[in-house]
Chains A and B, each alone.
Chain A
């Protein structure tokens, strides 16, 4: 009979499923961060002058900033000069259609479960595939265009829709917001752009799949989503990376803008390489995500399932500027081995009758360390603002950690702010009970964890909820103590 310690050891040795590398000819910029590299990236992408200037402003801001020190883990020393800021598969010529995408790249995404061939693709989901620094393909563009929906790579948006990009770029996350956002402003290479016109309900799920492949690079993508009056869009991002011994930096920025009565639902299934059982390697995931409910009765909802990365540092936020606007944050964050997650949300209630809901489920196993950090701020004009926060931690084993730092700042007496928190352990009693009904320990843990995270998983688009459930089970396989 296997005891729990043996089962714990098993999980530590569990291989990361997406750790393979793709062998493909690449254009890689030399390592180092300076004005020259920024000009190089901008030139490579044939950008207009204003965008180069904006990048350089970001770089100036970055140079004046220090790494943050308030998070609940020792910040690793990151050598920004050792990273290559541009890596792209060599292009033979401009691509006219998906058929011309390098077969090696198509095979890579197929292996990741993201077929880019429209016949094979999940119906109802359009995908933008980002490989290292560039977008390699976007599916169903034609179909979306018929409805006026713009879904393309960021680079293409700069060329084709410069007015929209110029108007909204940096309007939610300014170039000087924080050191990682400033770095991103300076060197961002690609990402996705979405515009939903007035009155349109986007007919399919939009999704971007991020893949880091090259060595000694980082990924610095930018996503900008604008939902015009009375529109709706559901967007999902997924990400993986090969297993490498050194840490790789991922510093993305996501900006969401919801105008009057618009709704944006943004879901993330984050599965970057988490490092090995001793904490060697893995992605440093330092991401700035923020949305603004600019219009009245607009709504932004973040859902995240975070299972990967050596370190996750992200706080998807919502600024509730319009009256009657709503913000939501649903999160499941899993850490095991020596993973660290410091994640949560910030909700700013500015408009009247604004409402927000925060559901955070942390799961810690192995020697993982999980922190929920949240801020709910109610401004003086936000009459009748309401917030409900529920923040639960689940511990598996005796060597992991769970921490909660909720901040509440209210400057309006009519506001209602509620916070509930629980911490529980997967009990031996629960496991034994399930064992006694014929269910083995691994299945028992999967059952308990999926039950625990259900409220969040239910928020995911259906096609991905099943995937996320499986991912949770695989990630935690055997982590009982």
Chain B
């Protein structure tokens, strides 16, 4: 599904990713943890194609395509979805209108006709229930005046609607209280399936109490320094990240 080989990237001439190797197969859930500034969110940005990141080395294969060759919108249309750490607000554009535009753009890319209004609304209702999203937020302007929790839940709702192959959650848990966290995690768990993969980027272990990952990777100073299973996350919770400084030296 996703194969990252020796990925190097920089921002304003400063190296941020220094050789990432990662393989995510269909249906797998991977978590990437690491201290602040280790490059976690940068990895998400590079995969989604944010303009100010320059890839200096390496390649990324996504379902048979060279991902780095594609524009951000084509990556999305191919099935890469990024749940943003800070979802933007767009005044005057209703959540519903935005989603309809996005969904139909993706469908057009796949050669499918635009969804009829009735089908679209049916789909919307179904997914709202699936991820427990407040229907009152549908006609509001996109994220405008939404609480932090509502914004994050909207990201998961969009993920449900657009049905990507790979969902990247960039610190979706940050700033959420325990109830909101549970709702977000439940949404993701319901969306899990043999055809859908996830990459969870998180600073804290607590998200992984709710979404059990298949693999946990530790990112430190632009490199993956350790890979394990759920137990690794617990170990990190206990020991913090400092001990990794030594680990890095030995990699």
Which residues of A line the B interface, CB within 8 A? 1-4, 427-430, 432-441, 443, 447-448, 450-455
Contact = CB atoms under 8 A, between A and B. Distances in A.
Contacts of A440: 71, 73, 105
> 8 nearest interchain CB pairs?
A451-B92, A451-B93, A435-B72, A437-B102, A438-B76, A438-B106, A454-B92, A438-B105
A434 B77 CA distance: 12
Interface in B66-84: 70-73, 75-77, 81-82, 84
B247 interface: no
Interface string B85-123: 001101111000110011101100100000000000000
A427 B76 contact: no
Contacts of B103: 438
B233 interface: no
Interface residues of B, number: 31
Contacts of B92: 450-455
A435 B101 contact: no
B141 A451 contact: yes
12 contacts: A2-B71, A428-B51, A434-B98, A436-B49, A436-B73, A436-B82, A439-B101, A440-B71, A450-B92, A451-B90, A452-B92, A453-B92
B88 A451 contact: no
Contact of B88 (A1, A4, A430, A447): A430
Contacts of B102: 434, 437-439
Nearest to A435: B72
Among A436, A440, A447, A451, the most chain B Cβ lie within 10 Å of the Cβ of A436
Contacts of B97: 447
Interface of B: 48-51, 70-73, 75-77, 81-82, 84, 87-88, 90-93, 97-98, 101-103, 105-106, 109, 141, 158, 162
A5 to B, nearest CB: 11
Q: Which of B51, B72, B82, B98 has the most CB of A within 10 A?
A: B72
A429 B88 contact: yes
B244 to A, nearest CB: 30
Contact of B51 (A3, A433, A450): A3
Contacts of B49: 1, 435-436
B162 A1 contact: no
Contacts of A451: 90-93, 141
Contact of A1 (B48, B71, B77): B71
